Amino acid sequence: MSGSGTSRSLTDLFSRFGARRVEEAEKAAEPAPEQDLVFPTKALRKFLSCLTARESPVLLDLGPVVGSNVSFFGEQLGCKIIVEDLYADVERHLRRDALDTLPEFFGKRFPQDDGTVDGILCWDVLDYLDREAAQVLASQLTRLLRPDGALLGFFGTAQTRELHYTKYVVVDDTNLRHRPYPATRGRQGILLNREIIRMFEGLRVSDSFLLKMNLREILFRKPGPA
């Protein structure tokens, strides 16, 4: 577990709270259901298929704890889930007026050894970072992935003034519930495809989907041995 105290594993969650208590605690803090919107996802099923052949894969989730997601991925993949809430990290640095220290922070954020994670749910966290911090984070995630590992990232394709993060709640392997929650600042600009690919040097784009809700889904793979 990292020093920030935001890391959780599947074992921790179920042993300390139990699946039902995790979901109950999550629901108690959520906005009203009518604020949630359900959108299709084209990349999630492909991400899952990258990991289903692996025995007890390790999955790294960079968003806040979502109890139903823990249950979904645990049941689908029989995996160990490590949750590292990077959105909370960004908020904490904003409150301390310490955004300039985020690159150094991300460089030391993950205690895991190189090549020890099979899949990463990046969500849209890179959209909320300055370029330098985003580059350091992308390099760290590339380091963590095992050969043939998969990373799923979301990237906005239109400017917005909205100040909120989004919890992506899995409905099934083709639909995600988008659940907004407060953010101190919004997205920091649109990342072009070439910028994204350059950030994740060492990975290759397996699939890319441009969705109608101004969102691009990109599935990266880490090349295996030649």
The tokens for 126 are 């890179």
Mean pLDDT estimate for the chain: 88
CATH number assigned to the domain covering 7-221 = 3.40.50.150
pLDDT tens for 119-147 read 999 999 999 999 999 999 999 999 999 99
For residue 2, pLDDT over 70 is answered with no
**What is the C-alpha to C-alpha distance for residues 93 and 78, in angstroms, rounded to an integer?**
34
pLDDT tens for 15-53 read 333 444 444 444 434 444 556 899 999 999 999 999 998
pLDDT tens for 143-170 read 999 999 999 999 999 988 889 999 999 9
List the chain domain ranges: 7-221
CA distances from 168 to 43, 60, 123, 216 (A): 13, 14, 8, 14
The string of DSSP codes covering 43-105 is SHHHHHHHHTTSSS-EEEE-S---HHHHHHHHHHH--EEEEE-HHHHHHHHHHTT-GGGHHHH
For residue 208, pLDDT over 90 is answered with yes
Nearest to 203 by CA among 50, 82, 9, 79: 50
